[in-house]
Structure 1
Amino acid sequence: MLSKLKHITLASSIMMLSSACVAFQGPEIDLAESGNRYTASTIVKGVEVPWGMTQLPNSDILVTDRKGELRLIREGKLVEQPVQGLPPVVAGGQGGLLDIVLHPDYGKNGWLYMTMSSPEGEGEGNNTALYRAKFDGEKVSLKDAEMLYKGSDNTTKRHHYGSRIAFDNNGYVFFSIGDRGERDVKPQDLSIDGGKVYRLHDDGRVPKDNPFVGQENTRPATYSYGHRNPQGMAKHPETGKIWSHEHGPRGGDEINIIKKGVNYGWPVITYGVNYSGTSITDLTEKPGMEQPDWYWDPSIAPSGMVFVTSDKYPEWKGKLLIGSLKFHYLVLMDVDGDKVTGQSKMFEGIGRVRSIMQGLDGYLYVGVDGGGIKRIEPKA
């Protein structure tokens, strides 16, 4: 793996000499007969930062707006009044109302799950919290909202909240909290929150087989650690494994497969540098720390991810689709088992891609900062 990554970095450096906007390494996927067949059509506007999306069984779509509003799309139109009944949200910097997903048995229990920057708890500031609630479609309101977990130690820092959510095949809920701008403390310290991926039962209980249960000075909800700022999370449709990607510093954005008790290395090892160009560490590997399955240098600022399973896009089926905030396009990645083997950019100029969802109709929906919600459709 290390030789592959070194080769990727060299290839990236060569490509950067010939292009001012190249963010790819490795083999390119030929999209001449696939990506060019589709167009991204705007279906609604009016959501400033569409951080997360989920679709209800009746085809209503709930969209989180980072500014602290939950919006409803019904019959193809954005309902004017935001959804009522949200828990307290602190919107500012990178914080606000973040991800949203349905429970796998939503049709039976009605639970939906959200992450947000919450002011609850002691201390000035806020931190990432996981809530669940039920949605009343007639009243366009949430009810029975309850906090399942919140990162302790509120902080006034306004970045690196994480925070994506995914359920695995066993009904456990995974979610991420970024390092909250305290990279030298939180990611490697198991006694405090931040820089972690967590695993809980759907009601917030900590599973007895979580890797750090029963150990002193640890957060028992922690499943993996050494993360910087994971803003993508999805379950592989065949293996059931939870995949995640996270923002690196300047360079070093990563794709990781989340494994029990594993240390992903931030900030002890990284393929990135400080935004000023100075070194964070001279290490890109270290015993006991996991190598990324893939990384980008330069960074693409990934956000949102989904495995494509729809027959609407036969050439993309089984591939991984990721958004780029920095370069304003989508990234389609070839996947072979637990390995990413290639990638290509699509829909250049679509805007700052914040979130991606595969809808019940099989179409892909893309949330774009300032650009509303778009649907990827065949060209007429």
Structure 2
Amino acid sequence: MESIASRKKALSDDRFPLSFYFRIADQLADQAKVYRDEQRTHDLYTTLSRYCRIAGVLPQHKGYTTYSSREKLRHSKIYQNFILELEMLKHVVGRDLWSQNDNSLSSIPERKVARCCAVGTKSQSFTRVYEEKTGLASVFTVDTATAKDRNINVHIVTQSSPSPSLSFVHSMPYAGHVARLSAADSSLNGTPESRLLQDVHISARLMEDFLELARDNTDKDLETCGILGAFLEKGIFYVTTLIVPKQESASNSCQALNEEEIYAIQNEQSLFPIGWIHTHPSQTCFMSSVDLHTHYSYQVMLPEAFAIVMAPTDPSRNHGIFRLTDLGGMSVLKECEERGFHSHQKPPDGGPLYDHCSNVYINQNLRFEIFDLR
């Protein structure tokens, strides 16, 4: 049986800086706000639980004593509030999901129970219990004006960039249409793994524009990378932002620089780090061992995170959208401490380390913004 000490170690891996885990905590707090506003009680409960599991073990991290006191105090207050909120939610959820053996920060995204959309009797019951026990009568009031402004079919990007010279907005003029991104992703359709994930919508034009921005590097056989940002609404992530950071490139690798610039844009526009995109200028479309380690840091933060590989010279497939398999890839990458290009052991379940995403769709009516910081 796995000991409490070993679970805490798994949740607070010292290979990542403490700031990485605080960013995960911030993302979970943001997700909780969305679920709270939309009255998605079960999703709210699992998100609060995941936050509390992380916050509860952060003091175990070797960098905790020297970390910002202000940040530690801020998250300590959030943690205390979330603990109280979890207690209130138990009256509606009907089961203590927090007590489940969920190693969500090591290999497996939290198991989702059958979703309650929090309408009708369930919603009214929850709201009444919550108000009676907390006195927060308006905490689950949906802002209908905001919901109307942020229409699912057409998301209008209204926030400006830090500098007009660094970005531009591309508007898709097509009629509303949503389609699965690739027939190749059918390998995960209907599996328990794919059903755990919320859907993601992205514009195909965003990928095309990224490839155009990378053309100069591609001609020189140099990789280019970018970061994808999304907002979450009604259980769907909408990719609306591409950030192309300052970077160091080689023919088989790319390293983002000045990460604080990336975080500044994500924070300013309240974006979830839904994934990343990079080119293989002269290689085939696959995920290298370095790519897998890079992606692990995204997927451990957000289970829906995906990696796009653009391979313009691959005659069989010029792009792929991948994620680490939950029971295989995530567990292997969690334990791997090697760096650089290397081989990985076979996953315990005998499956692949990574696979095509089954939850990513083209939405031709999305608008998106590109920040080129190079």
TM-score interval for Structure 1 and Structure 2 normalised by the shorter chain: under 0.3
Q: Which has the higher strand share?
A: 1
Q: Which has the higher helix share?
A: 2
Bigger Rg, which one = 2
TM-score (norm 2): 0.27
Structure with the bigger RCO (C-alpha within 8 Å, sep 6+) is 2
TM-score (norm 1): 0.26
